[in-house]
Amino acid sequence: MIQFQLNGRPVQADVEPDMPLLWVLRDELGHTGTKFGCGVGACGACTVHLQGSAIRSCVMPVVAVAGQSVQTIEAEGDAVLERLQAAWVKHQVPQCGYCQSGMLMAAASLLRQNPHPTDADIDAAMTNLCRCGTYVRVRAAIHTAAETPAPPKTEVA
C-alpha cells in the first residue's frame, strides 16, 4: 500500500511499487486531468508537482512519492494556477488542449520558483511539447500571470 498526499488530501493505492504515478493518478484514483502523451518523460503532458516541483509522472514510480505531496491540475484553491488559467484564456493558448494541463503545471512551478521570469527563463523552463505550436501564446500568458497581482488573503473567522 503506497500512501501520499494528493491535492492536500491523504490517499493510498494498493498497486505495484514500480507502477508509474501517472497510471495511479488516472486509473486508480480517478484524476484524469493529468494526460498520457509519450510515456518516456519527453512531452510533459503528464506533468504534476511533487513537493512543489514539476515532474513527469509517466516515468515516476509511485513508490518514489510515498509520504510526499503530489499536486495535479485538479487541485483547488491554487492562486498561481488560477492566474495562469485566466491568462491562458486571455491569450487563447489552447488549441487542441491536450497538452494544457501539463503546460499549466510546468508554468505554475516556474512562477513559484521565479515570480518574474524573462523570455529566456520561460524558454528554459517550459520543455513541454505542444503539437499545435502555441509557444508564443504560452510565453505571453506566463508573463501576464506573473504581472497579475495575487488576490488578497481573507481570514476565516
Q: What is the pLDDT of residue 154?
A: 52
Residue 60 inside a domain? The answer is yes
Taking only the tens place, the pLDDT of each residue in 76-121 is 999 999 999 999 999 999 888 889 999 999 999 999 999 999 999 9
User: What is the domain-level CATH number for residue 97?
Assistant: 1.10.150.120
Whether residues 66 and 91 fall in one domain = no
Q: What is the pLDDT of residue 27?
A: 97
Q: What is the pLDDT of residue 63?
A: 98
CB proximity list for 145: less than 8 A, separation 6 or greater: 80, 83, 84, 86, 87, 107, 111
A 10 A CB-CB count for 136 gives: 10
Q: Which three cell numbers stand for residue 103?
A: 503546460
Residue 6 inside a domain? The answer is yes
Whether residues 85 and 57 fall in one domain = no
Residues of the chain with pLDDT under 50: none
